[in-house]
Structure 1
């Protein structure tokens, strides 16, 4: 079939999970996410309201994230959610698919597997925050959470700073060996610790859990730490103490989502944090905000997971798959 990049209409492209993994690496995901955060901060891209609900079956959360990136001309929707019982079925808990449309006509362009891309874009998001906000001399990486996405987070994070050690805690310690194996592969010493020890040692902390209660308290975190809260994406979820946000300089992917379904929902609701004190990380990328102002400042990134992230990496996957001849087309 003709390549649609040359202008021919060959139907809808199908980009499988395997193809996504083959064409989108951490570098491509980082670039896509950083670019869309910058576009969002400029007003060139915006997310539509999120729909996310408990379906009343299999303890699953299901919903839709969508948006339009005018700068990149990317329009689409991600459909999917979280099935906690999948781990017992040897399946990824997060299941999703991205559908891309032509912004000029509304015609469906691509159907893209979203499971791998969800993990790699979430890791890219925290990596972007580390690149722009963590102290340059950060040496110890703390991981709170050891689920499927934690290994993606670890691999992406260590590319941003010269870490010399990884410390980790998980509510279910039996999953920590998967992080230990990745750390060993990366040549980094690994230690399983309690939460207080993690906070005392870590220069950068990534939380990536499905918790509904604070797992890290303000008094456990030392000055100068950068924290990337990546697990809270639903009303009621929570990973850290609201007082920690009050003590930190807070950044996010999107302020509206941060205060409604992100980590900041609790701090804002309690009055510990003012909405006006939350800064889009895109402002730092664009040079509008200085980011970290001192080595003692605690910075916190509330990574809620916006739909535009999914659309950005899915669009990259579709483009790269087409360029490399790794795509199938169907007529619908």
Structure 2
């Protein structure tokens, strides 16, 4: 069995490699060549933590495995650790033998950012200039860096439940040589692309905060009950997702479907746009929403890629198991 420790990931996995891995697996899902397994996600009743498993099998990439992990909301303040903690396990699809164990913390941030940036590349208007960020935590910085590579953005605007955290994304904007402005939520009307990356259970972005032609990537809702945007926004938009079943059960679409504002059949897999079987955005005034629920196949795709790189560079640890 190969082990790729968390400490090695930063030197192995790039944003470009994560983007390529996620885009390919979304395409494979839409083509029926890869499937996710049902998600197990539970509140532990300890440390207010959420813990679960995501897995799947990619027949195109011959990747089989699962990610185990979750969210510990007090890690940063109490222990100096990031709140999201996870590990990816890969298995040989021919024999079932364990192939690798891979640190999943940085990979989770990279694959989540890759998913939203895939949606921006395929769905945002080509002339998008202003990007809005809702959320300014650890993952928001990864989201913004990846997103800025997809269009010629000229300005970053941001809002957060805790305004004192906004310097996190202001720093990323400065790194890219872009101005940053803190706004109230109605200020998001100036954005051409909006990324929402929070852990909220009540919506902050409302339908009237979004202007025609905007692309919205909802990246924080991955559990029953969570909600970042008003359900009415999805009713105004063309809604794309990583996986329809997961979107309806625990993604942002769970609320709009439950309220009868949209139907499950209205949801479109982003992989269909990648494969060219769906046109994606059809006009400059259309609002597009990407419901990024975070599928297990994303984790397996980036973990498999990082294992190959670790072997190439001689940093994978091999143990008998």
TM-score category of the 2 structures, normalised to the smaller one: over 0.9
The structural deviation recorded for 1:18 is: 2.2
Name the structure 2 match of 1:115: 105
Q: Tell me whether 1:48 sits opposite 2:16 in the alignment.
A: no
SS of residue paired to 1:32: helix
Q: How does 1:205-284 map to 2 (within 5 A)?
A: 205-284=194-273
Q: Tell me whether 1:26 sits opposite 2:15 in the alignment.
A: yes
Name the structure 2 match of 1:165: 155
CA distance in 1 between partners of 2:190 and 2:315 (Å):
45
CA distance in 1 between partners of 2:140 and 2:209 (Å):
21
CA distance in 2 between partners of 1:219 and 1:66 (Å):
37
CA distance in 2 between partners of 1:309 and 1:322 (Å):
20
The structural deviation recorded for 1:325 is: 1.1
SS of residue paired to 1:29: helix
Runs ≥4 in structure 1, deviation > 6 angstroms? none
Q: Deviations over 1:67-103 (max 9, x none)?
A: 0000000000100000000120221110000000000
Q: How does 1:44-123 map to 2 (within 5 A)?
A: 44-88=33-77, 89-123=79-113
The structural deviation recorded for 1:145 is: 0.2
Q: Tell me whether 1:148 sits opposite 2:149 in the alignment.
A: no
SS of residue paired to 2:256: helix
What root-mean-square deviation, in Å, do the aligned CA atoms of Structure 1 and Structure 2 show? 0.5
CA distance in 2 between partners of 1:159 and 1:220 (Å):
25
Q: Deviations over 1:230-286 (max 9, x none)?
A: 000000000001000000000000000000000000000000011111000000000
Q: Deviations over 1:1-29 (max 9, x none)?
A: xxxxxxxxxxx111011221111110000
Name the structure 2 match of 1:182: 172
TM-score of the two chains, using structure 2 as the length reference: 0.99
Q: Deviations over 1:31-66 (max 9, x none)?
A: 000000000000100000000000000000000000
Q: Deviations over 1:157-186 (max 9, x none)?
A: 000000000000000111111111111111
CA distance in 1 between partners of 2:236 and 2:13 (Å):
37
The structural deviation recorded for 1:151 is: 0.3
CA distance in 2 between partners of 1:16 and 1:165 (Å):
37
CA distance in 1 between partners of 2:281 and 2:91 (Å):
38
CA distance in 2 between partners of 1:306 and 1:298 (Å):
24
The structure 2 residue matched to 1:305, chosen from 294, 304, 313, is 294
TM-score of the two chains, using structure 1 as the length reference: 0.96
Number of matched pairs: 320
CA distance in 2 between partners of 1:206 and 1:21 (Å):
23
SS of residue paired to 2:234: helix
Name the structure 2 match of 1:195: 185
SS of residue paired to 1:22: coil
Q: Which runs of 5+ in 2 are unaligned?
A: none
